[in-house]
Amino acid sequence: MNFFYTAKTDEGLSRQELRAAVERSVSARDARRVLIVPPDFTRFHSNAGLLTNLYYHLLTERGATVDIIPALGTHVAMTDAEITEMYGDIPRERFFVHNWRTDVVRLGEVPSDYLEKITEGLWTDAVSVEINRRVMDAHYDWILSIGQVVPHEVIGMSNHAKNLFVGVGGSDMINKSHMVGAVYGMERMMGRDHTPVRKLLDYALEHYLSKRPVTFVLTVTTAPDGNIRTHGLFIGEGRECLNEAVRLAQQKNIDFVETGLKKCVVYLDPSEFKSTWLGNKAIYRTRMAMADGGDLVVLAPGIERFGEDTEVDALIRKYGYRGRIHTLEQFNKAENTDLRNNMGAAAHLIHGSSDDRFTITYAVKNISKEEITSVGFVAADYDTMAVRYDPKTLQYGYNAMPDGEEIYFIPNPALGLWIDKQRFAEE
C-alpha cells in the first residue's frame, strides 16, 4: 500500500486533501486494534498532530480501538496541555508514555562487522535492537508510524525507522546510534540519505520488524510565520515512501547561502524548546552555514535546563560543550564511567560545540548566565538581545540592522538545514 501526495502550490496540501488521503489509507485496511506512534511536541510543526487526530476519528468511527504512544526517545513526557494543543480532542486516556529505560523488549542486534563496514571502521560495537513492547503486541493489527522527514543532525534525514527504534526504542540503540553519527561526522551526513545511522536503522527494520503490520505516514513541511504547510504526504509500508519524502525534503528544507554567515540569529519558541538538549538544533542546523570566526546568537527565552532528564543534565554540567576532541578524550578515560555509560549524551556534547570555529551565544531568561558560561557557551541577557534582534520584527533570511550590521535570521531551526554553498561545493 503506497499513497503519495505532493502539493501543487507552495500553500501545501489542504486539510481536506489530508483528510481524503488518510481516509483512503484507512479504507484500504480492515483494522480492529491500532497503535499510532506520532512524534512528540518537539515536532509540533510536522503536522503529525492533525494526522493523528484524523486517523483516530476515522478509525474509531469504523469500530477500531486506537492507542497512541508519542515517540519521546529520551525527551520528557508531554503535558496534558501539549497533548491537547498538538493532537486535539483525542481522549487523554488513549495516550501512553514511553520509557526508554524500562518499557522495551530486545529483538536482537545489528552485528559489529556490519557496523564496521558502514562506518568505514570508525565504529565496531554491535548495537542492541530494542523497542517498546506495545509495538510487538500481537493484538495490534495495524501500527501507524507518523512523522516528518527533515534534515537531521544524527541520521542525515529524519524519521521512518528512526521514529520506532529511537522514538520508542531502548538505551543501547539511542546511545550508540547517536555516537555513530558523532564519530562519523555531522557534516558528512546532514541532509543526506543512506548515512551509516540510516543503514543501521534500515538493517533493524528489515531484520526485526518485517513481520509487524507497520505503515509509515511521512510528511514534508515548512512553517513560514508559524503556519504549517504540508508539501508532501507519503504513506507506505516499505522504503519507497521514505525515498520520495527525502527527495522533497531536500528541496523544501535545505537552504543554501552564498557565503558563510558572519552573524546568525536563531529564535527558539519557548513552548517547544526548554532545554539545550533540544535547543541546540540552532547549532546543528546552522553549523554548515557559519563562517569561520562567525557568531551564532541563540535567542532562547524558554531554556530552563540543559538535559531532558536529571542524569543527562548532570553530565552536560560536568563535561560541557567543549568540542569533539575534548569530549572523546573524556569519553575514553576509564574513570569516566558516567559518560561512557551514556553515549547519547557524549554524542550530544560533540554536536553542541562549534569546535572553536565560531562563537555560540545563548541569550536566556530562566537559567543563569553563569550556568550557560560554565558549559562552554557565551551568555547574554535575553531581554537585552531581543531589543536589538527583535524576533517579532526580523524577517527570515538577511536583515540589515539600523547600525549597518548584517545578520541572517532563522525563526525555527527545527524545520531546515542551512549550508554555505561554497563550502559544500568544496567538500
Q: In the Cβ-directed half-sphere of 372, how many Cα atoms lie within 13 Å?
A: 25
- Non-local (6+) Cβ contacts of 425 within 8 A are none
Cα separation, 70 vs 35, whole angstroms: 10
What pLDDT shows up at residue 425? 58
**Confidence at 303, pLDDT banded by 50, 70, 90:** very high
- Least confident range from 172-186, 353-367, 399-413: namely 172-186
* Mean of all residue pLDDT scores within the chain: 94
Chain centroid to CA 372: how far? 23
Cα separation, 216 vs 27, whole angstroms: 16
**Confidence at 153, pLDDT banded by 50, 70, 90:** confident
CA-CA-CA-CA torsion sign (326, 331, 332, 338): positive
Q: What is the DSSP string of 330-374?
A: HHT-TT-HHHHT-HHHHHHHHHT--TTSSEEEEEESSS-HHHHHH
Domains of the chain: 3-252 (3.40.50.11440), 256-426 (3.90.226.30)
What is the H or E stretch that residue 22 is in? Answer: helix 15-27
- Give yes or no for residue 3 having a pLDDT over 70: yes
- Residues above pLDDT 70, as percent of the chain: 99
- Least confident range from 156-160, 184-188, 276-280: namely 184-188
- Give yes or no for residue 233 having a pLDDT over 70: yes
- Non-local (6+) Cβ contacts of 36 within 8 A are 52, 55, 56, 66, 67, 68, 69, 143, 144, 146
Closest Cα to residue 238, out of 2, 26, 8, 5? 2
- Least confident range from 24-38, 220-234, 395-409: namely 220-234
Mean pLDDT score, 110-125: 96
N-to-C CA span, the chain? 39
**Confidence at 424, pLDDT banded by 50, 70, 90:** low
What pLDDT shows up at residue 155? 94
Cα separation, 115 vs 97, whole angstroms: 31
- Non-local (6+) Cβ contacts of 50 within 8 A are 15, 18, 88
Instruction: Give the alpha-carbon dihedral of 322, 328, 332, 333, to 10 degrees.
Output: -10
Closest Cα to residue 152, out of 279, 285, 349, 277? 285
CA-CA-CA-CA torsion sign (400, 406, 412, 417): positive
Q: 263 is written with which cell numbers?
A: 552573524
- Give yes or no for residue 252 having a pLDDT over 80: yes
What pLDDT shows up at residue 344? 86
Q: What is the CA radius of gyration of the chain?
A: 21
Sequence-separated contacts (24+) of 237-242 with Cβ below 8 Å: 237/1, 237/2, 238/2, 239/160, 239/202, 240/2, 241/2, 241/4, 241/160, 241/216, 242/149, 242/159, 242/160, 242/193, 242/216, 242/218
What pLDDT shows up at residue 234? 98
- Give yes or no for residue 426 having a pLDDT over 70: no
What is the H or E stretch that residue 65 is in? Answer: strand 65-68
- Give yes or no for residue 427 having a pLDDT over 80: no
- Give yes or no for residue 386 having a pLDDT over 60: yes
Chain centroid to CA 131: how far? 18
Cα separation, 113 vs 105, whole angstroms: 23
- Give yes or no for residue 67 having a pLDDT over 70: yes
**Confidence at 42, pLDDT banded by 50, 70, 90:** confident
- Three-state DSSP class for residue 189: coil
Distances (CA, A) of 357 to 95, 295, 322: 43, 10, 12
Please state whether the predicted TM-score (pTM) of the whole model is above 0.75. Answer: yes
What size, in residues, is the chain? 427
- Non-local (6+) Cβ contacts of 248 within 8 A are 6, 149, 220, 231, 232
- Give yes or no for residue 403 having a pLDDT over 70: yes
